[in-house]
Each structure stands twice: as structure tokens, then as C-alpha cells.
Amino acid sequence: MLIVNILLVVMIYPMIGLMYYFGVRETGVKGKPTVVGVTLPEAYRQEPEVKEIVADYKRSLRRWMLLAALLPALFAWMPWVSFFMAGYMLWVFGAIAMVAIPFARAHRQLRSLKLVKGWFPKGEEGAVLSEGSVYVDLATAASPTRMVRPWLLILLCALSALPVLYEWFAGPVPELRHENSIIPFSFACVTFVLAPLIVWMDQEKAEILSRNSAVNANFERSKKRQRGMVYIGILILNTVTVWLMELFIHHLLGGMTGFAVWMVIYTVVICAAALRCEFRVIKLRAKLRCDENGTPYYVDDDEHWLLGVIYCNPHDKHFIVEKRSLGYGTTINVGSRAGKIFTVIFAVMILFCVIALPIWIGLEEFTPISAGITDDGLKVSQALTDHEIPFSEMEEVELLSFLPEMSRKNGTGLPELLKGKFEVDGEGRADVCLNPKNQLFLRITDKDGGLYFFSGNTDEETRALYAAVTERVE
Amino acid sequence: MILSLDLKSDIPIYQQIYDQILQGIASGALEPGEKLPTVRALAGETGVNSMTVNKAYQLLKADGYIFTDRRNGATVSDSFPGADCLSDVDEQQLSMIISRASLSGIGKGRFLKLCADMYDRLSSGEGSE
């Protein structure tokens, strides 16, 4: 268990490293129009007050990142899955907040300073541009670049839906059709969600890097071509994964082992492709902004960026906009209607991960198995699950002193609880509710061919149950 | 050419669009025959109401600076009206500016120099590229 915990923790460290990298990029690197999320022309970046804020931000960022890196020491050693998960989820989301804390403080300080000093970018004829103005390059707006073909996305959505529909209506194991549909469906959902996001991404507002419209148009074309290729590639990989899931869950292509190997390949390929694409976009953007052929242009829309990272502009109808600070790629406009819906969904997901998930796992982990005899049958309960088998339905009852090899199809797999539907070696599918650390287990078959493996909370309970059940069945 | 709209300004937004496109044409940033965004596209990009953009386009069209057709949207005109003379409205505005300059103590010579400098800057495209 400790090894699994450590693996899960180690997986997050590259993310912390990446966040530190993006945090450092906020200190006024060349080619980036903002410093700690504040639009600040190069001319003002050498002012002593700015240097002081940036130096303080760097020190603070290092301290917070070190704290984020050390936090797993508080929970990684915990043998209880629910406690570990609670700590882990708080850490994953907390680490993001930890970068945001020094950033938000520095952002507020620098923005106030900018407003007091009037350090605004200069527009045409040296006129000071007011914060919150709207900028549009007429040339790129007249010929918007569109790289995504909607028919391809529709095709991929349809291809992702096919295995799910097949499994739901005509899966090879009729009694497990709905359960077996869950995994392909969850991957198909990635296609269904990503496809419209790609369309929105393709329709995002053109960036203005330079007064030269040709520079802006070339950048838009290049950025959208790269993103289109990579994200559609990811969508194709995901569609292939939906089809492969259908094979894995029916024990083809290596079953669960094949699934695990594919998941590693899937994750690595997606992360590498997305990172490579976005880093190329960042590099190209910086290069073109610094290019002597174009004069850098500052789009000062600071007043629409809450704390410098959350874009909220109800007047902007775009749902997806380019991310400006602390990261790469795109972000959502929480001021738009779709943005508000997305924010609520995202908040619910975070609450689920941080609060509901650990509580649910805790309920599974710490509720003992309750097994007993009722007037007409055997009842085994644990947390929200109940099994009741009437004596009249029982065909055979055995007391096993070992647990046969079994793999989980759905349900719970904790060190002290196996619950749900399992595939038992040489015996087929079974309903299971037992403590695998016990030594004694009940094996029951019913007249309809159903197979059950149960245990009491202790071996003594299991032995007593066996005696009571055999007496009634005989 | 980059259009910048100050949403907090007292100048109506349609007027800002009109003025900047006109300046763009005068400075050469917008060339004759160059396509402009459609009303819908510009409204979408700026976030302002499409009626506002439409009003600016209608004024530009009425003054002969752009023309529109159903297939290609708006395009900068190849030839401009009123050669060698200002319209009555423009003459009225100019007289107001001269009056203000005079009341501010700007002499005729300095005023003409300011006009000449601005004229050169706009014609050379430095003003609004």
C-alpha cells in the first residue's frame, strides 16, 4: 500500500515542477507582456519598486513550492486509504493554490503601483491606452483562421459512442452489460467533452502580438494548425482507447495488465504531445513579440483578469481565451454563460474529489461487514450494499479456508474489503463481500447458478454463519 | 490595423469605430479594396452589439469610404468622395477647433504647424498603422 501511495505522490511532482517553472516565467521574461499577471511595458520593468515586488515574489514562490513538495510527508505513510485520499486530494488542489498565493499578492501590489504611477502601454500617437479597452486586429478579424474540421470531430464522437452502445445493448455478458459499459463510456465522455472544447479553442479571439497584422495572422495560423493537429491526434488516441477498453474488459489483449500498460502509454503520449505543442506556441509567441519586424503591442485588459489568472469579462462572448499567466494553453471566460456553467461543474467536481470521495472511501473502509441470519435467509451488509439470499434459493454452501484468485470487475478493492462483482478463476463471475485478511470464507451457489463469496467480520463470525446456514439449508 | 475601443469613453462606440477606420484609410493602414470584418465578426470580436457596428459601417458607407455587398461583407472603397473640398459638417467642426485653439492662446502660425505635422503623420501612416 505504501508503494502505491508513494507512486501516486511521485506522479504529481512533475506538475509541481511545471507550476514552479510557470511561476518563474511571471517575473518579467522577455517576450511576455505581463509581469505577475499585470500588463507592463518593458520600459517600466526596471523601476526599483517593480524589481522589489518581483524579487519578493520569487522568494515567496520558492518557499511555497518547497512547502508543497514536502506536504506529502504528512499523509503518504498512512495505511488508511480514505485518510490518504483526503490528504492527497487536498495536496493536489492545494499545490495549485500554493503557487497562486504569492502570485496573487505580488499581482495586487504591482497592479496598484501601476495604477498609481500610470504605467499604461502607449497606443497610437503615444496616447495612453486605458485599461479595459477592446482591441481587434481588423485583418485577422476579416479572415479568421479556422483549422478544425467539425465533420471529423462528429465522426470521432460517433466512433467513440459505438463500443459503448454495443456493450450496453449487445455485450457478450448479458448480466454485466451495464457495468461493463461504464469504463468505455468514461473514455467516450473525454471525446464528447474535448470535441466541443477543440471547436471553441479554434474560435478563440485572435491574439495581438504586434502592430503588424501580418505577424498576428501568421502566428494565429501557426498556433491553430499546431493545436488542431495535436488535439485532434489526442482525440483519435482517445477514440482508439474506447475501442481497446472493449477488448480489455473481455480479457483480450492482456486484460487488466494490457489495460494498465495502455493507460501508461496513453497518459505519457497525451502529456508529451500537449506539452510539446504548447511550449512551441509559447516559444513562437515570444519570438514574434521580440521580432524587430513587428513592434510589440500590449493589450491591457488587466481589469478583466481577477487576481491576474481568472478571466471574467461578461462583454466578451468568447468562452475560451488564451491563458495569460501561471500556465499555458487556454482558459475559460467565467463571465460568459458557458463559463459560468463550466465553473459550477468544476467546483462540484473539486468538492467531490476533496470532500465526497474521501468520505465515501472512509465509509467503505471503516464500516465493518455485518453478516447475520434473518427469518428466511442470509443477509450480508456493508456500508450501502446489501446481499440477501433466501435459504430456499441456496443450492450449496461451503466453508473455504482459502480465497480463490479473483479479479474485480466493479466495486471496491481495499486491503480489508473486497466488494462487488468479481471474476473468479475457473468459476466465472461472483458477487463478493468479504475481508480478504480473514482465513475463512463462505462460498454459496444458488439455484439460478449465482455464485457468492462472503465472510463475517471475523473468522469466528464466518464459522458461526456457516453452521447456522447449513443447519437451515439441510 | 488595430482597432481599439475604449468602452468607458464618452465618445459613442460607433463613433470610435467610424473614426478609427476613417483614420486607417487616411493613413494607408487600410488600403483601397481591403476587406473589413463582417458586422457579425467585428461585433463578436469586440463584444459590442452588432447594431452598433452596423451603424458605424452604415455611416462609413453613406460617406463613401467603404462599400458592402452580400457576399464579401465590407470593403474599403477604391475612390473617395468630395475631392478638394470639406463637407459642411467637417467645415463646421474645423471652425470649432480653430475657435478653441484661438481661445487657448494658440497663434495662427503654431496652429497651422500643428495641422501640418498631424497631416504628415497621418498621411505617412505613422499615426495609425
Over the stretch A397-452, which tens digit does the pLDDT of each residue have? Answer: 999 999 999 888 788 888 889 999 888 888 888 999 999 999 999 999 998 888 99
Cα(A110)–Cα(A35) distance, rounded to whole angstroms?
Answer: 8
pLDDT greater than 80 at residue A126 = no
As given in the structure block, the three cell numbers for residue A78 are 498512512
Examine the pLDDT at B11 and tell me if it is beyond 80.
yes
The residues spanned by each domain of chain B are 13-76, 88-124
Average pLDDT over residues A150-172: 95
Contact call for B45 and A136, based on CB within 8 A: yes
Hey, CA dihedral for A264, A265, A271, A275, is it positive or negative? positive
The pLDDT of residue B121 is above 90: no
Cell numbers at B80, concatenated: 473617395
pLDDT at res. B71: 73
Distances (CA, A) of A430 to A87, A143, A459: 34, 61, 21
Q: How confident is the model at residue A462 (pLDDT cuts 50, 70, 90)?
A: very high
Examine the pLDDT at A295 and tell me if it is beyond 70.
no
Query: Chain A within 8 Å of B66 (Cβ-Cβ)?
Result: no
pLDDT given at position A180:
85
Of the candidates A124, A141, A143, the beta carbon closest to that of B128 is on A124
Q: What's the pLDDT score for residue A131?
A: 67
Q: Which residues contact A469 (CB under 8 A, 6 or more apart)?
A: A373, A378, A391, A394, A397, A442, A444
**Global ipTM:** 0.77
H or E stretch covering B44: helix B39-46
Q: Which three cell numbers stand for residue A97?
A: 493554490
Q: What is the pLDDT of residue A127?
A: 55
pLDDT at residue A186 in the model: 93
A24, three cell numbers? 518563474
Nearest CA in chain A to B35: A142
Residue A318 buriedness (CB in 10 A; 0-12 / 13-18 / 19+): buried
A451 forms beta bridges with A445
- d(Cα A329, Cα A78) in Å, to the nearest integer? 36
Q: How confident is the model at residue B110 (pLDDT cuts 50, 70, 90)?
A: very high
Cα(A89)–Cα(A110) distance, rounded to whole angstroms?
Answer: 32
Of A23-37, A227-241, B28-42, the range with the highest mean pLDDT is: A227-241
Strands A428-434 and A451-454: parallel
A129 and B128 within 8 Å at the Cβ level: the answer is no
Average pLDDT for chain A: 89
- For A136, the closest of B3, B7, B121 (CB atoms) is B3
Q: Residue A124's pLDDT is what?
A: 53
Sequence-ordered list of residues with C-beta below 8 angstroms from that of A333, at least 6 positions apart, any chain: A311, A312, A313, A316, A318, A319, A320, A321, A339
Half-sphere exposure of A190 (CA within 13 A, CB side): 18
Q: Taking 80 as the threshold, does the pLDDT of residue A34 lie above it?
A: yes
**Bridge partners of residue B83, in order along the sequence:** none
Residues facing residue B35 across a β-bridge: B75
Query: How many angstroms separate the CA atoms of B116 and B120, rounded?
Result: 6
Using beta carbons and an 8 Å cutoff, which residues of A are at the interface with B? 123-125, 129-130, 132-139, 141-144, 205-206, 208, 211-213, 297, 313, 315-318
Q: Which of A155-159, A210-214, A417-421, B57-61 has the highest mean pLDDT?
A: A155-159
CA distance B6 to chain A (A): 4
Compute the average pLDDT of residues A111-116: 93
| Contact flag B45-A141 (C-beta cutoff 8 Å) | yes
Q: How would residue A157 be classed by pLDDT, with cut points 50, 70 and 90?
A: very high
Looking at the predicted structure, is the pLDDT value of residue A21 above 60?
yes
Instruction: Kindly state the percentage of chain B with pLDDT values over 90.
Output: 31
pLDDT at B129 over 50: no
B88, pLDDT greater than 80: no
- Find the CB nearest B8 among A130, A142, A205: A130
Q: How far apart are CA A328 and CA A301, in angstroms?
A: 18
Residues 6+ apart with CB under 8 A from A283: none
CB contact under 8 A, B7 and A133: yes
pLDDT at A275: 93
Residue A116 has a pLDDT of 92
Q: Which three cell numbers stand for residue A128?
A: 495612453
Task: Please provide the DSSP assignment of A402-468 as one string.
Answer: SPPPEEEEEEEEETTEEEEEEEETTTEEEEEEE-TTSS-EEEEEETTS-EEEE--SSHHHHHHHHHH
Dist CA A330 CA A324 (whole Å): 8
Give the integer Cα–Cα distance in Å for A18 and A222.
24
- The residues facing A430 across adjacent strands are A422
Cell of A304: 478583466
Beta bridge partners of A128: A122
Looking at chain A, the whole-number percentage of residues with pLDDT higher than 90 is 54
Which comes out higher in pLDDT, residue B32 or B84?
B32
Chains A and B: how many Cβ contacts under 8 Å?
Answer: 80
Residues in chain A within 8 Å Cβ distance of B36: 138, 142
Question: Considering the domain B13-76 in this protein, what is its CATH number?
Answer: 1.10.10.10
Answer whether B22 touches A (CB < 8 Å).
Answer: no
Rounded CA separation A352/A308 (Å): 27
Kindly indicate the confidence band of residue A271, based on its pLDDT and cuts at 50, 70 and 90. Answer: very high
